[in-house]
Amino acid sequence: MLLYYAAKRPHARVVAGHRFYPVEGPMRNDKDRYWDCLDQAMEASHRGRMDEALAWLDEALRAYPAGAEAHNGRGEILWDEGRIDEAAHEFERAILADSKFTAAHLNRIELMIEELAAYESALERCDELLSGRAELPRPETSVQAEVYYLKSKALFYVDDLEGAIFLVRRANKAVGMQPVYSAFEGQILFELGRYEEAQRVLEHTVSLDPDSAHVIYYLGLVLERLDAEHATEAFARANALDPHHYPLPLEISTQDFEQAVATAIDNLPRSIRDYIADVPVLVEDLPSRELIATENVSPQILGLFVGSPRTEASTTSQALDLDRVMIFVKNHTKVCRDHEELIEQLQITVRHEIGHYLGLDEEDMERLGLA
């Protein structure tokens, strides 16, 4: 991790799955010791010596306890180490020390989204930054673009995909085409089932950032629906760039997959098996566009119950023979790293979707052995 505390830079930087923002520090004056310590922290972080960097930041705060830059720097390091609550506290302290300190505001919002699932709070903080209130950072164009992007991410996680795509496009329009923003636009289009649009956006993004395994992988997901041969190439390329995060899809025959699903059903409690005897469990490669649109689900779903839960059967006019459970082969083979994990995941998926058919909540599923 690199600490940024003085130089003003136009864009965020992606490290270890999250983004670090440029900061605006106070003018150099009589806080020489403070700034010297920050320089030492920067040097230590460049060399990967994070404990040393934290020690220098602590020393900086002893020299100047109200140093927003040092609190923000501590927050970034703590976040990178997975110490989320401590990182959030440091970003809050940075904002209290300097309410106009842009970096801490942006870091706090992204932490809310990526680590705390505090999406509504993140949306409120985004709107505050866009409000132009005098006590907050001035919403310059680059800052506005970043806030649009963060707000887009929060909307994405609360399933407002149309709102998310509107804002990420607004971010791109504000500062010109940025790979991070374009990659997210492609991801949203994919989730909406708008594959041809997603392909155009992601191919252009790859031309801007040809070594981004994340973008290439998402292009593979799109091409899997449009051009299977080139999808295989994209998955292989993403794997070559980042094998840990993007393993190659498992290979399994349709017969073996169907047998694994049948075994998962056989492993259900007998009382449950008898109850669902007339409910078909269908194995398909991928969810169709129609299913994605009508059921409002992700193209990456592992399984789906379609129909009316048994608890609602008497109150709906839907024919019972329309009830079905669907299990998707290719989505399973991309999230499981070996056949043992695949078998385990199929057990979970089948039990979960049967639970939805039975109208059970998560607590009920666990009590009945379906979780």
Q: What is the pTM of this model?
A: 0.85
- % of the chain residues with pLDDT over 70: 88
CATH 3.40.190.290 holds for 254-367: no
Average pLDDT over residues 246-271: 93
The tens digit of pLDDT for each residue in 102-146 reads: 999 999 999 999 999 999 999 999 999 999 899 999 888 999 999
Is residue 318 predicted with pLDDT exceeding 80? no
What's the CA angle centered on 347, arms 344 and 348, to 5 degrees?
Answer: 90
Is 351 within 8 Å of 344 (Cβ atoms)?
Answer: no
pLDDT of residue 245: 95
Picking from 76, 112, 114, the residue whose alpha carbon sits closest to that of residue 94 is 76
> Read out DSSP for 121-160?
HHHHHHHHHHTT-TTS----HHHHHHHHHHHHHHHHHTT-
Which CATH fold would you assign to the domain 177-248?
A: 1.25.40
Confidence (pLDDT) at 189 = 98
pLDDT at residue 278 is higher than 60: yes
Task: Quote the CA–CA distance of 175 and 34 in Å, as a whole number.
Answer: 34
| pLDDT over 50 at 86, yes or no | yes
* Geometric angle at alpha carbon 57, from 101 and 125, rounded to 5°: 25
Which of 3.60.15.10, 1.25.40.10, 2.20.25.190, 3.90.220.20 is the CATH number of 1-172? 1.25.40.10
Domain residue extents for the chain: 1-172, 177-248, 254-367
Asked if the domains at 177-248 and 254-367 fall in one CATH topology, the answer is no
